[in-house]
A and B are shown apart, each in its own frame.
Chain A
Amino acid sequence: DIQLTQSPSTLSASVGDRVTITCRASQNVDSWLAWYRQKPGKAPKLLIYAASGLESGVPSRFSGSESGTEFTLTIDSLQPDDFAVYYCQQYYTYPFTFGGGTKVEV
């Protein structure tokens, strides 16, 4: 299985900050990587697909990029709604796998 390693596991930030989360794949996933935001007790919400595609309805402060097997989620100007846990997921090969998550906290 492809392992996805997210860093950091926890990130302390304030409203208005620029935040960067990294996801490193154990092998090639091409660009088939997605990012999700999850709030307590809720299902994950798709933010980014295909490494850098912004999902419809998602604010433009979210962006994704890639460099080889390293992927980055950036949140420009963190909003109160953004304090949550973020996950990456690869869907390049079965079984699809998720990263361990990054908690963005105050």
Chain B
Amino acid sequence: QVQLRQWGAGLLAPSETLSLTCAVYGGSFNTYYWSWIRQSPGKGLEWIGEVTDGGVTNYNPSLKSRVIISADASKKQFSLDLTSVTAADTALYFCARSPSRYYGLDFWGQGNLVTVSS
């Protein structure tokens, strides 16, 4: 059974960099699309961006200037870096998998609550 397990710092000060990593267990890393999504009370579910096993990325333009998503296929892991965080970045962050461009997000990580506060 495929499992996505994610981790990273849960409390950040304004202007710091949010860093999260998601590891894939029980399945292949190759040929899939790997996404980050966040959920906040004020904005609902927001797709942040995705990376393929080959390192091709697509980002949400609303965050593109601050986001880097990368993949390490040898470790079956992918990561999210979001720079210059503010209180507006406080949210529950999820990693997720899509089998193809024509599918939904079929497996999700457990979620990480990230709070930005001074």
Contacts and interface: CB of A to CB of B under 8 A. Distances in A.
Interface of A: 32, 34-36, 41-46, 48-50, 55, 87, 89, 91, 94-98, 100-101
Contacts of B86: none
Interface in B95-117: 96, 98, 101-106, 108-111
Contacts of B111: 41-43
B104 A98 contact: no
Contact of B103 (A42, A44, A50): A50
Given A87-B45, A95-B47, A43 B60 contact: no
B27 interface: no
Given A42-B111, A49-B104, 13 more contacts: A35-B104, A43-B94, A44-B108, A45-B108, A49-B102, A49-B106, A55-B104, A89-B105, A91-B98, A91-B101, A91-B104, A94-B60, A100-B44
Interface of B: 35, 44-47, 58-62, 94, 96, 98, 101-106, 108-111
Contact of A46 (B44, B47, B61, B106): B106
A46 B60 contact: no
Contacts, number: 61
A43 B45 contact: no
A62 to B, nearest CB: 13
B98 A98 contact: no
Closest 7 pairs between A and B when the two form their complex, measured CB to CB: A34-B104, A43-B108, A98-B45, A95-B60, A96-B47, A49-B104, A46-B104
Contacts of B101: 91
15 contacts: A34-B105, A43-B96, A43-B108, A43-B109, A43-B111, A44-B45, A44-B94, A46-B106, A49-B106, A91-B104, A94-B60, A95-B47, A95-B61, A95-B62, A96-B35
